[in-house]
Each structure stands twice: as structure tokens, then as C-alpha cells.
A = this chain, B = another copy of it.
Amino acid sequence: MSYQSFKKRTYEILEKGTPDDKWSHRVDVFIISLILLNILAVVLESVLAIRENYQQVFNYFEIFSVIIFSIEYLFRIWSITENKKYQNPISGRLRYLFSFYSLIDLVAILPAYIPFFIGLDTRVVRGIRILRLFRILKLSRYNKAFSHLKQVIQSTKEQLAISLFAVLMLLVISSTLMYYVENEAQPEAFSSIPATMWWGVATLTTVGYGDVYPITETGKLMAGVIAILGVGLFALPAGILANGFGSNLEHKEEKNHNDERPCFCKHCGKKIIED
């Protein structure tokens, strides 16, 4: 296989190829599995009993993952010139390096190389562990759910922004009022407006842990009114997203409806034309 055709094949395999390209599919499945296993590893490693017994396994798996992800990263940069958008070997590759997906790939491996440059401080190691979580973002390249959700958020972003702004304003107003009402009776839980916002978030999202709540009568009355009126506002983003999903679905159905069923007149046999 020539250098050029090898590069082209690499590009086909890494970027989503044709549906019947077996090797492209296998590599996709392998990388997706490795990402999911990495998430599982992050989760399991946090359990003391597991960490103590399998530390070595986690370390080997981490090294293995970083090697694979690094190879993937390099191969992608090398073969990206097959994409017409990034044709130029230098400027094209540079532009690709700063594209969304490429940056995610970099963030997924870079932290693992940090200890080679800076000393192995405990804080650094801790920070690196958290950054491994971002490997989850590598999934976004393969996942339909991500792109669908992105699309819904895109089409409702104006409404989401409006409701988020309203939510924040309501949070500030509610918390300020409650702070002035409850501060005297509970100087610790309602020590300041930012502290009262913890009550505000817990109440308006209806989580209601029960660690902070008003005890004065005025406070309860005000909290009641805020809850009844405010809960609806905090539930808005969910409703907007759900509607966004819904209207997406309906559009699809309508399209299918129109495309698939041409109708014919039972009397004269001609196609029925709607205005």
C-alpha cells in the first residue's frame, strides 16, 4: 500500500466512513469502548477498596489509554489533509489543531504528560485526575444524542437564555428578601445574600434538602409565596427543552407524511393537488 493510499485509508477509518466500511466501524467501536472504560475507571478508582487492590491495573490501563489516544490524535492530524477543508499540509493542519474536536482530543491526553514537565505535587496529580473526566467529551464526535441535543438547544437558545435570565433575577430577588426577613432569627444559615442563595436554589429547583429553611412566620409566608410563584419559572427551561424535542419530532413526522403519501382522486384518477 502506497503512502498516499495508506493516509487516505487512515482518514477514512478515523473519520466516520461509509456505513459498510467494516474497519472504520471496528475502530469506532474500539475507541468508544475505550472512552467508556476510561469513565468507568475514573468512577471505580474513586472507591477506596477498589483503588487499594487494583491500583496497578488502573495505572497500566491509564498508560494504555494515553498511548492509544495519543496515536489516534497523531494519526488524525497526519491524515486530516485528506479532508478538502484542511488540504494544506501546514495551514490546514494548524486550523484543524484548533478545531473543536481536535482540542477535545488534546485535552484528553495532555494532562497525562504534565507530570513530565512539572514536579509530581499531590495537587497536580489531583488536578490531572479531574481532567481525565473530559475524555467523556470525546464521545461527542460519535454520538447522535449529543448532536440532537445540541440542535434542540440551538433552536430554543433564545428562549432558554430568557428563562435563565429570569431565573437568575428571581433567585437574587428572592434571596435578598429572605435574607432581610430571616437573618435575625437564623444569623448563621441566612448569614448573607450569597449564603441565602443556597436556600434559594434548593427551594426554587424544589430539591429542598432541608438543611436551610425559614423558621419565622414572615419567612415561611414569604417562602411559600416565592415557592408557588417561582417554581414555575425554574421549571421553564425543562419545558422549553421538551417542547423543542417535541416540535423537532413533529416536523419530521409532517415531512414523512407529505413525502410518502401522494394521493389520487378516486373519481378521475388524477393526483390530488393541495394549494
Q: A-side interface residues toward B, CB under 8 Å?
A: 39, 42-44, 46-48, 126, 129-130, 133, 136, 139, 143-145, 148-149, 156, 159, 161-167, 169, 172-173, 176-177, 179-180, 191-195, 197-198, 201-203, 205-211, 213, 220, 223-224, 227-228, 231-243, 245-247, 249-250, 253, 263, 265-268, 270, 272-275
Known contacts A191-B48, A205-B228, A263-B272; A246/B240 CB under 8 A: yes
Known contacts A46-B179, A210-B210; A275/B263 CB under 8 A: yes
- Cα-based distance from A227 to B204 in the complex (angstroms): 10
Q: Which of B47, B48, B268 is A267 in contact with, Cβ under 8 Å?
A: B268
Chain B contacts for A149, CB-based, 8 A: 162-163, 166
The 6 closest A-B pairs by CB, nearest first: A239-B242, A235-B238, A210-B210, A243-B246, A207-B208, A232-B237
Interchain CB contact under 8 A, A205 and B176: no
Chain B contacts for A176, CB-based, 8 A: 42-43, 46, 130, 133
Chain B contacts for A266, CB-based, 8 A: 270, 272-273
Interchain CB contact under 8 A, A198 and B220: yes
- Cα-based distance from A210 to B199 in the complex (angstroms): 13
Shortest CB distance A258–B (Å)? 12
Chain B contacts for A144, CB-based, 8 A: 162
- Add 16 more A-B contacts to A144-B162, A207-B207, A265-B267 (CB < 8 A): A43-B193, A130-B177, A149-B163, A163-B245, A198-B220, A205-B206, A210-B210, A231-B238, A236-B238, A239-B245, A243-B245, A243-B246, A263-B272, A263-B275, A266-B270, A267-B270
29 A/B residue pairs, CB under 8 Å, sorted by A: A42-B193, A43-B172, A43-B176, A43-B193, A46-B179, A47-B193, A48-B191, A129-B180, A133-B172, A133-B177, A136-B173, A148-B162, A198-B224, A202-B207, A205-B206, A205-B227, A207-B208, A208-B209, A232-B238, A238-B238, A238-B242, A242-B242, A243-B243, A247-B253, A265-B265, A265-B270, A266-B270, A267-B270, A268-B270
Interchain CB contact under 8 A, B224 and A235: no
Interchain CB contact under 8 A, A130 and B180: yes
Chain B contacts for A177, CB-based, 8 A: 130, 133
